[in-house]
Amino acid sequence: MEKFASPGKGNGLRLLRPVKPGELLYRAEPLAYVVTKKRLGGVCERCLSSKKQLLRCSQCKVARYCDAHCQKEAWQDHRRECKCIKSVEPNFPPDSVRLVGRIVFKILGQTPCPSEKLYSFSDLKSNTEDLNEEMKEGLGHLATTLLLYLKVEIHDASQLPPTLDIFQTFAKVTCNSFSISNGEMQGVGVGLYPSMSLLNNSCDPNCVIIFEGPQLHLRSIREIQKGEELTISYVETMMLTSERQQHLKRQYCFECDCLMCHTKSKDADMLAGDEKAWKEAKEVINKMGAPKSKEEWEQVLLMCQTFLRNNSSQLPDTNIYQLKVLDLAMDACINLGLLEEALSYGNRTLEPYRFYYSGFHPLRAVQLMRVAKLQYSQEMFSQALETLKQAYDIMKVTHGTEHSLVHDLMMLKEDCEAGLLSE
């Protein structure tokens, strides 16, 4: 790969040789990363693995680790922020403040970072000239919060590197950071990978980014020719064109001109069916919040069941709001142990997922694997094996055969085969 001037987009990345689908094009450790606030205590601060029992930092009592090895590996990043976290308790900084704090300590320590090979932190664009006043005011508040957070380690701004502008740094982080997801595409952290900020957006991209812990993997998902620009999707593509454009404009300060945005190719399908019914579905989704307790999940399931029963003939399952209700109902049933009912909802999502996430898309692979797990729970071993085969055919391209999620898939496949033999 090489950096080049992409017409109308600033910098970009392009290939120096042709590649096929499924090739690992780049592997990068982050310049800095943090666990998101809502996942604190549930994942290891070093490897981002989810575990029920984690060791706790004895000083700040916030950071959690798999074991002594992960804690030792993470100490270089946590050493100075540990005092900062302790100094502001019982409050806790926003994710962006904690991340920028780590970036500041990294710059002060002059620690070299391989992920700056093609593009360094100082090269990153801040787009401050394109921000509206509300965004600028918000970044100003974050800058003030950061100085208070760092005060125990950095007593005043004069101790910061002279070339480091805190406001500009927050602006850079806002439009260049990556949401770090686990293998199942659930967000667990946020990190900065400067060289990967060269990747431009397309709502129909030729590459995908997958994470293995905090390590970023850039993989091709179609044939790409020598000299062709590499693209990823910055946003969820199962959104209306207007909503995608609004999100891209607000966070990244540009309007997408990809073919999918020009043609609005799937917008009509996304809103198919009775308008009153899909607006009601949208309201149901917006009311959900983030359920945790059994009672909250029971309430979610009841709302989903009521909506689906009352609107059974009004909306096709390809309507994006109907599909989101089905996903929510499936999640609620899984959390409540109602696996047979969860499977009934999961089965209904597979065709819409195939339609919206055509080709090699990690979200479709993950959904297929979730449904296969439910089929296995109901001793539907042959159906589960067929579903796993479909998931594997996608994952070997999007994740690669060595990814931990693919290993989990192969273990489930072995369990299904053992179940068939025992019948």
Calpha distance 371→343 (Å, rounded)? 6
Write down the residue that tokens 């390809």 correspond to.
318
Closest CA to 332 of 378, 366, 284, 380: 284
Write down the residue that tokens 């540009």 correspond to.
254
Calpha distance 243→220 (Å, rounded)? 26
11 Cβ contact list (under 8 Å, min separation 6): 3, 4, 5, 119, 198
Calpha distance 317→375 (Å, rounded)? 20
Structural tokens at position 372: 């296969």
Backbone angles phi, psi at 81, to 5 degrees: -70, -25
Q: Would you say 365 and 391 are in contact if contact means Cβ atoms under 8 Å apart? A: yes
Overall residue count recorded for the chain in this entry: 423
The model carries a pTM of 0.92
Calpha distance 237→204 (Å, rounded)? 8
Kind of pairing between the strands at 207-212 and 215-220: antiparallel
Q: Would you say 237 and 244 are in contact if contact means Cβ atoms under 8 Å apart? A: yes
Closest CA to 353 of 394, 300, 399: 394
Starting at the edge strand that comes first in sequence, how are the strands of the sheet with 32-35 ordered? Answer: 32-35, 187-192, 177-181
How high is the pLDDT of residue 162?
80
**E strand segments, 222-347:** 231-232
How high is the pLDDT of residue 312?
82
How high is the pLDDT of residue 253?
83
Structural tokens at position 423: 């019948």
Calpha distance 347→350 (Å, rounded)? 6
For residue 209, the cross-strand partners are: 218
Closest CA to 337 of 398, 369, 294: 294
- Kindly give the confidence (pLDDT) of every residue in the chain, 423 residues in length, as a single tens digit, with 9 standing for 90 and above: 899 998 888 899 999 999 999 999 999 999 999 999 999 999 999 999 998 899 999 999 999 999 999 999 999 999 999 999 999 988 899 999 999 999 999 988 877 788 899 999 999 999 888 888 999 999 999 999 999 999 999 987 788 878 889 999 999 999 999 999 997 889 999 999 999 999 999 999 999 999 999 999 999 999 999 999 999 999 999 999 999 999 998 888 888 888 899 999 899 999 999 999 999 999 989 888 788 899 999 999 999 999 999 988 899 999 999 999 999 999 999 999 999 999 999 999 999 999 999 899 999 999 999 999 999 999 999 999 999 999 999 999 999 999 999 999 999 999 999 999 987
Q: Would you say 371 and 387 are in contact if contact means Cβ atoms under 8 Å apart? A: yes
Calpha distance 168→115 (Å, rounded)? 20
How many alpha carbons lie under 13 Å from residue 121 in its C-beta half-sphere? Answer: 25
Long-range own/partner contacts, residues 91-95 (CB < 8 A, 24 or more apart):
92/37, 92/40, 92/62, 93/145, 93/146, 93/149, 94/37, 94/142, 94/145, 95/34, 95/36, 95/37, 95/190
136 Cβ contact list (under 8 Å, min separation 6): 128
Question: Cis omega before residue 90 (within 30°)?
Answer: yes
Structural tokens at position 198: 């060269």
How high is the pLDDT of residue 7?
86
